[in-house]
Structure 1
Amino acid sequence: MPKPMKTYKERKEEFVSNHYGGAISEINLITAVAPSAYILYSVLQSRLRFFTPYGPLQFFCDFLLNTLAILFSVTVYSSYPAVLNILILTPAIFIYLTQKPVPQRAVPVESKKRKNEIAAASASGELAMPKKAFLTAYRGGMMVITCIAILAVDFKIFPRRFAKVENWGTSLMDLGVGSFVFSGGLVSARAVLKELYAFQQAQVKGVQYKPINAAKRVSATIRSAVPLLVLGFIRLATVKSTGYAEHITEYGYHWNFFFTLGLLPPFVQLFQSLLFFLPKRVLTVDRLPVIYALLSLAVVSSYQIILETTGLKIFILIGERELWGLIGWNKEGIFSFFGYLSIFLAGMSTGCYLLPTYQEVPSARRFWVGPLGKKLMTWSAIWVVAFLISYEYRGLSLAVSRRMANLPYVLWVTAYNICQITTFYLIESILFGGVKVAGGAKRDEERYKLATPQILEVFNKEGLPIFLVANVLTGAINLSLNTLDMPNHLAVAVLVGYVFVLTAVAMGMRVSRWRSFLPF
């Protein structure tokens, strides 16, 4: 008898399952489109002031560079990423070599004055953490490619090697989900820095500082995490009630990414409470990056040891779900949480030296790598070496597994993201390092406006709401269209329309007040 024809849902589940990923070098080349686009944007802005003022033409070019270029890199140019990078960089090189920077008013950048400003802020108990263009560009680009991938994966024009790997291997989407967590940890360092800096100032002034106890920390964080957990339950109910295609081995039968995001902050608060048990000479703002990096490595190393010395690894990969109830049904989401927690802590480690600028005194020289640049390069080298030591065929000979979020996966995600941040930092330093604008805080603000693409700024600022909208649009498109059998040219048209709507919504958040009604 002929086999019965598979349902559309079964075909979709097969379409997103049992993949082996691709080479890390190809992933790096695909994602290099984001910094390449930032190079062209920066050249146009520093040499021609093309995006000042910002009108419809500027919006179109911004959209073309910072969203469509990324979309094309994972679809039309997925087999030729080097060609797309060359197409973007060629005009940038030509303009850079043929045009001089736009002259600015000759207001000197006084390092001594800047130091005095920093000293005054320090004396008042404040820790300066101004916005940084390269960081906004990195986080905005990461959010753009994440939102594109969650829908593009449902079309055949999106290569299967970019989809999430089943058990072992590396892929673009595996990197994306880890990068989202890393980015969240990076900005979460702001609260830790403020608290510890206040603690340091109290010690200097001889004033007693009483840190918040762990119970209050966790309860407060749980309240703020409720919206994410609610979204997780809404997604669960929607998926189960609509018969939406599911990839069970991604997180499990009930678990989803919103649950992981919602549970991370309460666990991190426990580590933050433990900080105050360290000796006072150790617990300083300058040592926070090392402290959180060690915490990250301690968590993931302990998790990896348990995977290797017990039956946990076998249970996650091939263990029976029914025998262990909810734990069995959601084993991937529950146990990979420890790996994501480690990535979040690594992001906090990075944020602890990226966000403050109390030691950073910018220069008017064309290309200047200050203390922050040196720290980025040093930490990049550390995490890359750590990954190479753990990776397959080297050192520990461990394979990357996003499904378990094991040690090499955590190290790969962390190393990649810090290297990406370093790249954006160098681009801004080279192309905007010699821009002469007003001194002090005014200079920081003006340089930020010059060097920041507006679309990436709004994707960075409104990251979580945009991610929610992207998930809603993805679900609506999948329920209303046969994405699996759609021709490539129509698939690209749908994806372009999706990205445009998402960008329009994001830009709308910037000028409307309805954003303030959201609980996150």
Structure 2
Amino acid sequence: MAKTYKQLKEAWVSGHTGGSVADVNSVSLAMPLSILLWSVIQSRMRLFTPYTPGPCLVDFLLNCGATLFATTIYSSSPWVLNMLLLFPAAILYALEKPAPPKREAPRPPRKTNSEKETKLDALPVKPFITNYRGAMMIITCIAILAVDFRVFPRRFAKVENWGTSLMDMGVGSFVFTAGVVSVRSSLKEGTDRGPPLSNRLLASFRHSIPLLVLGTIRLISVKGLDYAEHVTEYGVHWNFFFTLGFLPPFAALFQTAFNLVPSYAILSFTLAAIYEIALDWTSLGSFILIAPRTDLFSKNREGIFSFIGYLAIFLAGQSLGSIALPRQQPTPKNASLISMLRQTTLGRLAVTSIMWTALFYFSTSYYGLRLSVSRRLANLPYFLWVSAFNSYQITICCAIETILFPNLYKATTKDEELQRSRDATSTILYAFNRNGLAVFLIANLLTGLVNMTMPTLHMSMLQSMAILIAYAATVTGVAVGLDFYNLSIKL
């Protein structure tokens, strides 16, 4: 019996086993290498200052085009693309000297009571965080549509039960990077003088409502339009917007626990470990994987229980944010390697990356716990994999910034530092980061529109790439347009 097109689409995204961790690493390395090439061009040539249509096209090709090609045409030979990005960066870095800024922020006139205006922020804007979050948003937006085309390899699609894939990492990274920036408010308040729990919960619920509304709208539209869906991903009714919506209030509850155990890393690992014990030592794991869907709870068990793992990932992101966001204190010129690892942002990020990576390999290795990664369960190995991956990617971005923009945080005024920060940040990545959830929502709407109007599974490689490039350009245009008109849509 011939399958309907909807059944073909559902079969296309179901039953996958993924690829290797090394494969995900080599393909996704295109992101920091694109940032590297952009940063070398900017620091050596100041090409992106001022930002005219020509530099905008180069910016798009580097930070959107490279990601799109890495996940499609170059997916079978990722190191060819990686070398195509790395070699020009290395040559330009070796041959060209750093170029002076084309513009400097005007210094405010000296006033006797202007200390507050000129005092540098304790939590400065960090371009490497902005660049990485923007790049993660771009690869997420590209993958949610590209997965519906045959040009996107099946090993990158979400796995059914056990295994690792690029899209599995994308979901976890979205939550991790949200945690990285969410800790800013806690750092501003200080853990001892933070607002009471009731105030934190009220503020978090206000942040959650738009996301829960979006989740409800998505649920109604998917059911109403008979859209192809993958039930074992989150359940019958649950979707990713519900997961994102419930994170803020639960994170607010863990802020209280932070006063008792002042380490987000320990809190996150403890939560993931307790959840893993429940999965392995009780019938919870088998319930999530094979139980019949008889009521509302059992129909949405994947979304409900995987939320515990995503909450742990969010807390791990907060742990890294508490390292990455504060201003780095000056270090002595002749400091030892141990001192550098302890005192510098880059050193502490590197140690964090090594820690999460070691724990991940211990949890999955033959001589360790011998556990398998499962995005469907969001189990301990998945939590550790996401934490390790994002930590080392952010560490690479921090190293790029440290080497290529060494004077970034040596400004004398806040305005001057903000100007230097913008000059060290890709405008496209800044725009994607600035309105991340709004752009993600638009990408979801465009994905639905493309899937409802075009037979994506029956398209040639040339047709597929043309549509994906047009889609990437449209989403980028919306993001840059919102930034150009200075619009921030907070969801």
Residues of 2 paired with 1:42 and 1:133: CA distance? Answer: 11
Q: Does 1:195 align with 2:189?
A: yes
Q: What is the aligned partner in structure 1 of residue 179 from structure 2?
A: 185
Question: C-alpha offsets along residues 445-496 of structure 1, whole Å, 9 cap, x if unaligned?
Answer: 2331222110001111111100000100000110010001111110000000
Residues of 1 paired with 2:145 and 2:125: CA distance? Answer: 30
Length-normalised TM-score, structure 2: 0.91
Distance 1:515 1:137, change over 3 A: closer
Q: What is the aligned partner in structure 1 of residue 29 from structure 2?
A: 32
Q: What is the aligned partner in structure 2 of residue 43 from structure 1?
A: 40
Distance 1:175 1:277, change over 3 A: closer
Q: Does 1:304 align with 2:301?
A: no
1:321-340 aligned within 5 A = 321-322=293-294, 325-340=295-310
Q: Does 1:174 align with 2:157?
A: no
Q: Does 1:387 align with 2:387?
A: no
Question: C-alpha offsets along residues 180-234 of structure 1, whole Å, 9 cap, x if unaligned?
Answer: 00011111101111222672xxxxxxxxxxx543334223311221100000000
1:81-160 aligned within 5 A = 81-103=78-100, 128-160=122-154
Residues of 1 paired with 2:379 and 2:180: CA distance? Answer: 20
Distance 1:121 1:262, change over 3 A: farther
Distance 1:244 1:438, change over 3 A: same
Residue of structure 1 aligned with 2:252, choices 266, 269, 273: 269
TM-aligned CA deviation for residue 354 of structure 1: 1.1
Q: List alignment gaps of at least 5 residues for structure 1.
A: 108-119, 200-210, 279-289
Q: Does 1:401 align with 2:374?
A: yes
Question: C-alpha offsets along residues 368-424 of structure 1, whole Å, 9 cap, x if unaligned?
Answer: 996111111111111111111101424100000000000000000001101000000
TM-aligned CA deviation for residue 86 of structure 1: 1.0
TM-aligned CA deviation for residue 58 of structure 1: 0.2
Residue of structure 1 aligned with 2:7, choices 6, 10, 15: 10
Q: List alignment gaps of at least 5 residues for structure 2.
A: 105-113, 334-339
Structure 1 stretch displaced more, 380-389 or 493-502: 380-389
Q: What is the aligned partner in structure 1 of residue 233 from structure 2?
A: 250
Distance 1:509 1:394, change over 3 A: farther
Residue of structure 1 aligned with 2:216, choices 233, 242, 245: 233
Residues of 2 paired with 1:259 and 1:228: CA distance? Answer: 7
Structure 1 stretch displaced more, 450-459 or 229-238: 450-459
Distance 1:292 1:434, change over 3 A: closer
TM-aligned CA deviation for residue 332 of structure 1: 0.5
Residue of structure 2 aligned with 1:483, choices 456, 461, 486: 456
Give the conservation status (yes or no) of the 8 Å contact 1:127–1:358: no
Give the conservation status (yes or no) of the 8 Å contact 2:137–2:436: yes
- The alignment of Structure 1 onto Structure 2 pairs a total of residues equal to 474
Question: C-alpha offsets along residues 147-174 of structure 1, whole Å, 9 cap, x if unaligned?
Answer: 0000000000000000000000000000
- Secondary structure of 2:19's counterpart equals coil
Residues of 2 paired with 1:146 and 1:81: CA distance? Answer: 18
Q: Does 1:444 align with 2:417?
A: yes
Q: CA RMSD in A?
A: 2.5
Give the conservation status (yes or no) of the 8 Å contact 1:121–1:127: no
TM-aligned CA deviation for residue 276 of structure 1: 4.0
Residues of 2 paired with 1:197 and 1:17: CA distance? Answer: 44
Q: What is the aligned partner in structure 2 of residue 207 from structure 1?
A: none
Question: C-alpha offsets along residues 301-356 of structure 1, whole Å, 9 cap, x if unaligned?
Answer: 1100000111111111111111xx11110011000000000000000111112111
Length-normalised TM-score, structure 1: 0.87
Give the conservation status (yes or no) of the 8 Å contact 2:341–2:351: no
Structure 1 stretch displaced more, 353-362 or 134-143: 353-362
Question: C-alpha offsets along residues 232-287 of structure 1, whole Å, 9 cap, x if unaligned?
Answer: 00000000011100100000000000000000111111111234456xxxxxxxxx
Question: C-alpha offsets along residues 107-152 of structure 1, whole Å, 9 cap, x if unaligned?
Answer: 9xxxxxxxxxxxx999x99961111111111111000000000000
Question: C-alpha offsets along residues 22-46 of structure 1, whole Å, 9 cap, x if unaligned?
Answer: 0111111111111111111111111
Residue of structure 1 aligned with 2:322, choices 352, 375, 392: 352
Distance 1:426 1:125, change over 3 A: closer
- Secondary structure of 1:505's counterpart equals helix
Give the conservation status (yes or no) of the 8 Å contact 2:162–2:373: yes
Give the conservation status (yes or no) of the 8 Å contact 2:120–2:412: no
Q: What is the aligned partner in structure 2 of residue 70 from structure 1?
A: 67
Give the conservation status (yes or no) of the 8 Å contact 2:120–2:413: no
TM-aligned CA deviation for residue 359 of structure 1: 2.8
Distance 1:328 1:429, change over 3 A: same
- Secondary structure of 1:468's counterpart equals helix
Residues of 2 paired with 1:181 and 1:65: CA distance? Answer: 25
TM-aligned CA deviation for residue 444 of structure 1: 2.7
Residues of 2 paired with 1:393 and 1:58: CA distance? Answer: 50
Residues of 2 paired with 1:178 and 1:362: CA distance? Answer: 37
Residues of 2 paired with 1:146 and 1:513: CA distance? Answer: 24
Give the conservation status (yes or no) of the 8 Å contact 1:186–1:348: yes
Residues of 2 paired with 1:424 and 1:49: CA distance? Answer: 19
- Secondary structure of 1:53's counterpart equals coil
Q: What is the aligned partner in structure 2 of residue 58 from structure 1?
A: 55
Residues of 1 paired with 2:312 and 2:244: CA distance? Answer: 13
Distance 1:68 1:88, change over 3 A: same
Q: What is the aligned partner in structure 1 of residue 438 from structure 2?
A: 465
TM-aligned CA deviation for residue 96 of structure 1: 1.7
The amino acid that maps onto 2:49 is T
Give the conservation status (yes or no) of the 8 Å contact 1:218–1:269: yes
